[in-house]
A and B are shown apart, each in its own frame.
Chain A
Amino acid sequence: MSPISPITAPTDIAVEVHDVTVAYHRRPVLWDVDVLIPAGKLVAIVGPNGAGKSTLLKAILGLVPLASGKVEIFGRPLREERGLVGYVPQRESVDWDFPVSALDVVLMGRYGRLGWLRRPGPADKAAALKALDDVAMRPFADRQISQLSGGQQQRVFLARALAQDAMLYFMDEPFAGVDAATERAIIDVLRRLRQAGRTVVAVHHDLQTVPEYFDHVVMLNLRLVASGSTQEAFTHENLQKTYGGRLTLLDQAAEAVRRGGPL
């Protein structure tokens, strides 16, 4: 495995989420969230189902419209810094019967820097093969993606992220439904990314591994419960606030906004 080339982040803060509210069908699913994500750290977003974790990622990436608030990437709007950002969607979000090989999928990681019309060249192919090597998937480069196991598919997604060579990564549940070997491979890659000065923000479900894997944690349940270094923020009290039942009043308020009047 070759090292990932080190980069120094342009600012100490990788992402600033300022007073962001997101609504689906008018119903707010994220309320006035403020988050500062420090550069060069592994950051977990945790919270119960339906807490708005994926929505927060999508809001930062501009994939869902913001009802209010703003997002800055390294101090600038996303549209000016797209090239610095890599994204690993949930594995189930794509059709794994799609007629492409593992290598094709990893090559897609290079498309962003190529821009419109330019085709991937030998340098891109070399970068893609190296990324496959980094997740121990090189022998499967020509395999059609439906012929891979779930863990192997997740590793291909990770290799695609590596091929993006981004400064800041957003990963939606990279550890969901993978085998132990893949989990080790993924955390290994995440640590190497951190060593190279990159920032990784991952939606994470397994609370037990949060302190071991992540430096920083964002705890979410429709609103921000806590955000800070794992040591400080990942406390029993905050966990209870995050998972200990929903705020019924907040639910009622969201429902009232959706209906356009009180219940």
Chain B
Amino acid sequence: MSISSADAWVAATAALCGVACGVPGVYLVLRRMSLLGDAISHAVLPGLAAAFILTGTRGLFPMLAGAMITGIATAAISSFISRHSKVPEDASLGVVFSSLFALGVIMITLAARDVDLDANCVLYGNIEFTPLDTVRLAGLALPRSFVTLACFASLNIALVSVFYKELKLVAFDGALATAMGFSAGIIHYALLCVVAATTVASFEAVGSVLVVAMLAAPGTAATLLSDKLSRILWIAALLAIAAAVGGYALAVVFNTPVAAVISVVLGAQVALAVIFSPRDGLVIQLWRQTSLKLRIREEDLLGRLYRRQEGRTEIEPPALRGLISWLAFRRLRRKGLLDAPGTGLTPAGSRAGDRLIGSHRLWEIFLNQRLGLPPDHVHDPSERMEHFISPAMEQELRAEFDGLKDPQGREIPQPERDRPAS
């Protein structure tokens, strides 16, 4: 398959749409307002219809004006309803945007029956035909959608760069922003204006499904991949471009609708980000859980052997059932804590045991003396807690319960450094 210039135009247009929507979309995600983007992108329809009815043209500027007015109206009406009634914000938003969208459909069919303003086109777009509708610019025939979206992508990047500080402050702490004189309300509605206008500019090219996906998905994935706002904005833009180009290529190969495939790719990006997020992705969580489990098993083995060594022969030697136990045993041996037959501890093993069992018994004393738990209640909680007592906590406990024996009357093992030389 060769790449034609038409293919390149379609992919580039989709990528520009991604940048134009994805960058402001980050702020919607951060402010937990992604659904407002979805709502606005539908609710602008009556604004478009009204602009068309009033001006009789489908020119970009009347459309943008209509969209911005209805976009802001959506947010304002739904917050008015929820503020002045018992209707929750999400419910009022759901009602307002679906009613407005339906109203738009009616207005279009009534007033523009025989004109080419198609509700279906709004939903699904027709990005495949992008190269057919061109405008002449500086002697070049460029696809109209490409030019429009290039303008919006640049405009949105410029706005986000120029007002970076203000947007960040309002998104993080609106009350402080307002107290400082940056009105959170004005910035909020300005952001919604940008979203409404971008949505309309993107509709014709890509349809509202992809617009909604581009507003929500890149920002969502990017916030999972980084915890620095400036980097998140870059990552969102790059993910949107990658999804546009990759999605278009897949759509060509499988001969399926472009906007739909790109939306699916965007969803897949978010899924991958959920799995591989470096801070709290599923993979890293699993890894953390497994290493914790391994450490606890290791320490439990150590504790058992230590107690046997103390002469408590009623304790069974540890049975190595399961992979984790086997790995724990291997690690103890590799650290040089086990003797050759693997049934006792080396001097280094005993020292490690001193710390562990020391923490365990100190915690038993703590539970017994400070929390008033009876002696037969303190072993099990200490068995769990011994793995989490930091050296600092251990020191504090030692200072507090110096010279005491545990509730069963056993000595608290002293760490090596405190032992008198013998």
Contact = CB atoms under 8 A, between A and B. Distances in A.
Interface of A: 25, 58, 61-63, 79, 82, 85, 87, 89, 93-95, 98-101, 104-105, 108, 111-112, 114-117, 119-120, 144, 146
Interface stretch (B45-53, B179-187, B393-401): B179-187
Contacts of A117: 162-163, 165
Contact of A111 (B162, B169, B226): B169
A87 B179 CA distance: 7
A105 B169 CA distance: 9
Contacts of B177: 111
A93 B173 contact: yes
B191 to A, nearest CB: 16
Nearest to B83: A25
Contacts of A116: 166, 182
A95 B29 CA distance: 12
A62 B184 CA distance: 12
29 contacts: A25-B83, A58-B175, A61-B179, A62-B179, A63-B178, A82-B181, A85-B179, A87-B176, A87-B179, A87-B180, A89-B173, A89-B176, A93-B173, A94-B172, A95-B32, A95-B172, A99-B227, A99-B228, A99-B229, A100-B168, A100-B229, A104-B168, A105-B172, A108-B176, A112-B181, A114-B165, A116-B182, A117-B165, A119-B164
A151 B165 CA distance: 26
A112 B183 CA distance: 12
Given A99-B232, A100-B168, A82 B180 contact: yes
Interface string B192-217: 00000000000000000000000000
Given A99-B228, A117-B162, A111 B175 contact: no
Contact of B182 (A79, A94, A100, A111): A111
B30 interface: yes
A63 B83 CA distance: 16
B332 to A, nearest CB: 31
B30 A119 contact: no
Interface string B132-165: 0000000000000000000000000000001111
Contacts, number: 74
B223 A99 contact: yes
Contacts of A82: 179-181
Interface majority SS on B: helix, strand, loop or mixed? helix
Contacts of B162: 117
B325 to A, nearest CB: 33
- Number of chain B interface residues as a range: 20 to 34
B260 interface: no
B173 A94 contact: yes
Nearest to A86: B179
A217 B174 CA distance: 28
B173 A108 contact: yes
Interface string B67-106: 0000000000000000110000000000000000000000
Contact of B178 (A25, A62, A104, A111): A62
A93 B162 CA distance: 27
Contacts of A108: 168-169, 172-173, 176
A99 B30 contact: yes
A4 B254 CA distance: 67
Interface centre among A87, A94, A98, A105 (most CB of B within 10 A): A98
B217 to A, nearest CB: 17
A114 B228 CA distance: 22
B165 A119 contact: yes
A98 B175 contact: no
A146 B279 CA distance: 11
A99 B171 CA distance: 11
A144 B227 contact: yes
B165 A63 contact: no
A179 to B, nearest CB: 14
Contacts of B227: 99, 144, 146
Given A99-B227, A99-B232, A63 B181 contact: no
B169 A98 contact: no
Nearest to B178: A63
Contacts of B179: 61-63, 82, 85, 87
